[in-house]
Structure 1
Amino acid sequence: MLFWKRKRRDEVPDDLDSEAEVDGRVSLIHRKSSVRRWKFLVGFFTAMVVFLGLGYGVFSYTSTPSFCASCHEMAPQHVTFQSSAHNQIQCVQCHIEPGKKNALKHKLDEAKMILSHIKGDTKRIFAKRPVLSKNCEQCHSRNRLVTATGDIIANHKGHIEKEIPCMTCHSGVVHAKVAERGISDLATSSAWTRENADKLMGEKNEKPNMGTCIDCHNQVNQGKEPWKDIAYILPDNRGESNEGNAGESGYERTPEMKAGVLERTLPENVQKTILEAIGQQKTDVKLSMQCFTCHQKISTPKNHEKPDWKQGHGGTAAKELDKCLNCHKDSLWVKKLEKQDIRNLLAESPKKQAYRLDTLTAAKESRNNYFCSLCHAERPDDHLDRHKWLFDAHRRNSGSPEERRSCFVCHDNEKPEPGLQAPAPSDVYCEFCHKGDFQGEPF
């Protein structure tokens, strides 16, 4: 203040005659200077309040589900979120590790995502990091003693003590594994509406996948801890390209659509897991693969314990295959979910289709199911003596089309073509010997 006064005195014009005039002039200059300073301070603090208010508003809004929904490529994630049991909490409560530092870091990542959206680089949304258990524990207690629904025996305490992340089992609880199932491409984002949510989500995709339990338990029996690898928890993110022309449904054809409804190739280790789960890991292991290990109500049916069940179960399968597939279905036993065609999901009827009871239907279904075809590729006991089977039993048991139907569960009539959607488990086919004898059979 004294410095400013001194400066103002120096600026007083020399033509002022009296000391009173000088003091009056200085006083006037001082008052004007004070007013200017106050205006500056008021303006500065007002601007700061506005800036901080806008910053807080932007920070808050960009943490809401509404902001996430503003990008059309987020439609699958937002619709599944709205239809889930977690629709009353904010996205950031799950997807950001607790703490102010992590929140600020996320905003920087979010800015990159917005830039990517503006540039049009985003084709498909998928998780690059899993939701942490500490996020779940903001709402859910670690002392979980009972299973909320169903007959599953869930030993939460044992899993928590082993530090197994929640997402190892519960990865579909909000978003129904849409990325892993291949139905979250940008090309099909317009299909994601609340009206279509039930068809596209499916309750089974929200619940823990039995295939994950089996795969993990199988590895534990081998002394491994697969959950420590982050890749084990994150979904498989293949099929990111969305190139293609619009189909009849109005959606561009994704790679899964081009390839067909399902990808049928399973790696050898998956086949091995299924076979081990069927009968090899019941005793002398850490985690038995028997039904009662994880299920309260489901147990092995009585007829499965009959000595001739392996050889004679075909008759039961032809009559009750829909019941068989409640347990013996690839998607239940394999961790990795098959890719799906969104058009087929939308076209499915909510009513359960009536099952056609015949051998040919059982043959078709079993060919598409590795759980069945892995065993059907092996010779049955009565086929082991090749000479006796070919020239005795085989000839007597295949004289009519009705009798031959059971043969087509494992064999094709004609030489199978490469890439056939449902090839026979066995590479032995009828026309290798019987040229043109069974035309039009089996399907």
Structure 2
Amino acid sequence: MRHRLLRWAALGLAIVAIVAVGLPVFSVLQPDYYRRYPSLGPRMDHWTTSTHSRIACGECHVEPGFGGFVSFSARAIPAFYSQLASGPDTTNLLQPPSRAACQKCHTTYRAVAPSGDLLIPHKAHVEVLKMECTACHKDLVHSLNKDGFNRPMMQTCLTCHDGDKATAECIKCHTRKQTPATHKKADWLRVHGVAAASQDCAQCHDWTPGYCAECHEKRPASHVGNWKKGHAVPATERGDGCLVCHGGEEFCKTCH
């Protein structure tokens, strides 16, 4: 009789332990668990309308393998009981998806964007450079970029493709957006201000905030020393070129 009671007691303790451990892990992998967080509610709304809405949280946010599950559980269990007692806090238990998690479903064979215009050798980025997928695809599931899309923005690409870390030549990535012939002319820097008035420069250049300001807010190298006294001769040679920065003849009349 005593042994039977001990067995029942052991069984009861085992069930309690399983529930005490399993309930937190199961709960924190449910989307509704994160809807309680004011800062995460909108992100969960984006998830429900994304292409990943049928993918369980753990498939992406828990590192593949037994070790990844144990590591996640070690964070989830104490956090669950802490928040059960004190309410939701700002702790986000779900880490950004790792490269290994993404590759459970996605391959690196894609080399061209769905539009067909953009060359993206995923194998070179993922397998050679060992880049994390989220380095580019951070606005994929739980948020949109500033234009309201899930695809990476040009500005993200330029964090590496700056001409130093990686090439910035248009043709290396874009199959249709090559450097226009006008941009290769010797006088392009001088006349581009006039051309900008009749062309949609933003088709290519809107991805860089303050693109024009990078040059136009800097004092030209020639405008040093006794420039004010000697500027008349260069101004005559450049003609309307000065007006690109100085806003018309009224600027000259402030002194002359």
TM over 0.5: same fold? yes
Q: Residue 111 of structure 2 contacts residue 122 of structure 2 at CA under 8 Å; is this kept in 1?
A: yes
| Distance in 2 of aligned mates of 1:68 and 1:288 | 40
**Aligned mate of 1:82, from 48, 53, 57:** 48
Question: What do you get for the CA RMSD once the two structures are aligned?
Answer: 4.1
Question: How far 1:138 sits from its partner (Å)?
Answer: 0.8
Question: How far 1:201 sits from its partner (Å)?
Answer: 7.1
| Distance in 2 of aligned mates of 1:112 and 1:209 | 38
TM-score, normalised with respect to structure 1: 0.46
Deviations along 1:413-437, one digit per CA (max 9) or x if unpaired, are 9xxxxxxxxxxxxxxx949x728x9
| Secondary structure in 1 matching 2:105 | coil
Q: Residue 110 of structure 2 contacts residue 120 of structure 2 at CA under 8 Å; is this kept in 1?
A: no
Partner of 1:327: 204
Partner of 1:101: 67
**Aligned mate of 2:210, from 350, 370, 389:** 370
Q: Residue 97 of structure 1 contacts residue 132 of structure 1 at CA under 8 Å; is this kept in 2?
A: yes
| Distance in 2 of aligned mates of 1:305 and 1:217 | 20
- Spell out the pairing of 1:109-148 with structure 2 (5 A cutoff): 109-111=75-77, 113-114=79-80, 115=82, 122=89, 130-148=96-114
1:202 and 2:148 matched: yes
Structure 1's 217 and 95: CA in aligned 2 closer, same or farther, altered over 3 A? same
| Distance in 1 of aligned mates of 2:45 and 2:102 | 21
Structure 1's 312 and 65: CA in aligned 2 closer, same or farther, altered over 3 A? same
Greater C-alpha Rg: 1
Residue 169 of structure 2 aligns to which amino acid in structure 1?
Q
Question: How far 1:60 sits from its partner (Å)?
Answer: 2.1
Q: Residue 36 of structure 2 contacts residue 88 of structure 2 at CA under 8 Å; is this kept in 1?
A: no
**Aligned mate of 1:297, from 176, 181, 197:** 176
| Distance in 2 of aligned mates of 1:294 and 1:118 | 52
Structure 1, unaligned stretches of length 5 or more?
Answer: 1-33, 179-199, 223-286, 334-368, 398-405, 414-428, 438-443
**Aligned mate of 1:410, from 223, 245, 249:** 245
Structure 1's 218 and 434: CA in aligned 2 closer, same or farther, altered over 3 A? closer
Structure 1's 151 and 118: CA in aligned 2 closer, same or farther, altered over 3 A? farther
| Distance in 2 of aligned mates of 1:74 and 1:150 | 34
| Secondary structure in 1 matching 2:75 | helix
TM-score, normalised with respect to structure 2: 0.73
Deviations along 1:63-107, one digit per CA (max 9) or x if unpaired, are 122222232232133123223222211222222211233323223
Partner of 1:172: 139
Q: Residue 176 of structure 1 contacts residue 201 of structure 1 at CA under 8 Å; is this kept in 2?
A: no
Deviations along 1:346-393, one digit per CA (max 9) or x if unpaired, are xxxxxxxxxxxxxxxxxxxxxxx5321223345599xx9612256x58
| Distance in 2 of aligned mates of 1:294 and 1:372 | 23
Q: Residue 73 of structure 1 contacts residue 125 of structure 1 at CA under 8 Å; is this kept in 2?
A: no
Identity across the alignment (%): 24
| Distance in 2 of aligned mates of 1:124 and 1:48 | 30
> When the two structures are aligned, how many residues end up with a matched partner?
245
| Distance in 1 of aligned mates of 2:37 and 2:12 | 33
| Secondary structure in 1 matching 2:72 | helix
| Distance in 2 of aligned mates of 1:312 and 1:380 | 18
Question: How far 1:303 sits from its partner (Å)?
Answer: 3.0
Residue 254 of structure 2 aligns to which amino acid in structure 1?
H
